[in-house]
Structure 1
Amino acid sequence: MAEHEAAREQALDAAERLFYGRGVQAVGMDAVRDASGVSLKRLYRLFPSKEALVLQFLRRRDERWRQALARHVDAYTAPDDRLLAVFDRLHTWFCEPDYRGCAFVNSFGELGGVSAEVADQARRHKQAFRDYLAALVEDSGLPAELTDQLFLLAEGAITTAAITGTAAPALHARTAARLLVRAHRQHAPAVPDSVP
């Protein structure tokens, strides 16, 4: 069982590097075999089709991406700092040498029109990210409408950073997020004094 799991992880590690680095359609199962050292026969026993491998790559990436974000944000306690920490985490991610944008957007662009499961996986990832932001906004006591504003800032930064090859969009998005948070705080309705 340990050998089976090790081969599975080797294959997924190789698939992630290749799919994320080159694109899903440009990478065949032979390339995954060569990069992972897992035989083609075993590869197909682990993942009965390339689509199955793509879906597992996306599921694992979703889990790891969201865990890394939560670990970063959890280092902060003040609600507004936690919101802005999302953009700090994006900046760290954009600075990684192999950054090529969002694997889910990339996969959706390549396969979303022909694979309902890939499209669904991309939608679930984006919804989970939005739900995470919504929880941070709720914890901060700010209006729910801020969620979609922050979500769009983050998503725009992710795409712009990939296209421009710079991490600066995370800093611009953070500045805009800070201004939005401040504006919502200034326009929050006053809490009435309690009636004696």
Structure 2
Amino acid sequence: MTDERTPRERVVEAADELFYARGVQAVGMDAVREAAGVPLKRIYAMFGSKEDLLVTVLQQRRETWDAGLAAAGDRATTPREQILAIFDFLDDWFHEPTFRGCAFINTFGEVGPASAPAADVVREQKQAFRDHVARLVAEAGAPARLAPQIAILAEGAQTTAAISGDTSTARHARAAAETLLDAAGG
């Protein structure tokens, strides 16, 4: 069986898995080279630095997150159900054996302002998520003040599940979101 992924795809996938499992700072480029099976010189030709590779990994994670969120929402028929589907999406993710929390939160906590490009990608992803929730809240006819509350429930569920290992946090956050929607008439 041949590996049909390009060297770039192999490097990004290997770096993503390693950064997510071990942390960005704990993973050297030699580990990425070994996992990807791509020479270090070639990796640096594709990505000028580890930071460039990290930014690419985060951008790919954002695409994966957005696609998963969209797929969960596509199964819902109303804006309210789409809001609640966010928590169903999280619940499925929390049950994956490789779940280690939000890669964006983890990365920001680890490299934060020391890597402005990575921090920018994290901030953009978090803002895009808040915007997505705000759009759904508006479509549900609920007050705008509900959007940041629901977004915080989702973010908090990710962090709590990662730290506690309690996969039920998404279901608890979903119940809280339902309560908020009911109270707001949404």
Who is 2:120 aligned against? Answer: 120
Counterpart CA distance in 1 for 2:71 and 2:152 is 22
Amino acid aligned to 1:16:
D
Who is 2:94 aligned against? Answer: 94
Who is 2:46 aligned against? Answer: 46
* Equivalences for residues 37-76 of structure 1 within 5 A: 37-76=37-76
Who is 1:23 aligned against? Answer: 23
1:162 shift after superposition: 0.2
Q: Deviations over 1:125-147 (max 9, x none)?
A: 10000011011111111111110
Who is 2:108 aligned against? Answer: 108
Who is 1:159 aligned against? Answer: 159
Who is 1:174 aligned against? Answer: 174
Who is 1:150 aligned against? Answer: 150
1:120 shift after superposition: 1.0
Larger Rg: 1
Who is 1:77 aligned against? Answer: 77
Residue range with higher mean Cα deviation, 116-125 or 16-25: 116-125
Who is 2:35 aligned against? Answer: 35
Amino acid aligned to 1:43:
I
1:74 shift after superposition: 1.1
Moved runs in structure 1, 4+ residues, more than 4 A? none
Amino acid aligned to 2:122:
A
Amino acid aligned to 1:34:
E
1:110 shift after superposition: 1.0
Amino acid aligned to 1:30:
D
Residue range with higher mean Cα deviation, 76-85 or 11-20: 76-85
Q: Deviations over 1:40-68 (max 9, x none)?
A: 11111111100000000000100111111
Residue range with higher mean Cα deviation, 69-78 or 155-164: 69-78
Instruction: Provide the secondary structure at the position in 1 that maps to 2:61.
Output: helix
Counterpart CA distance in 1 for 2:82 and 2:129 is 14
Query: Under a length normalisation based on structure 1, what TM-score does the superposition of the two structures give?
Result: 0.91
Q: How many residue pairs get matched?
A: 184
Counterpart CA distance in 1 for 2:128 and 2:93 is 18
Counterpart CA distance in 1 for 2:9 and 2:131 is 29
Instruction: Provide the secondary structure at the position in 1 that maps to 2:25.
Output: coil
Where structure 1 has 5 or more consecutive residues not aligned to the other structure, the ranges are 187-196
What percent of counterpart residues are identical?
53
Residue range with higher mean Cα deviation, 51-60 or 115-124: 115-124
Residue range with higher mean Cα deviation, 25-34 or 109-118: 109-118
Instruction: Provide the secondary structure at the position in 2 that maps to 1:112.
Output: helix
1:113 shift after superposition: 2.5
Provide the alpha-carbon RMSD of the alignment.
Answer: 1.5
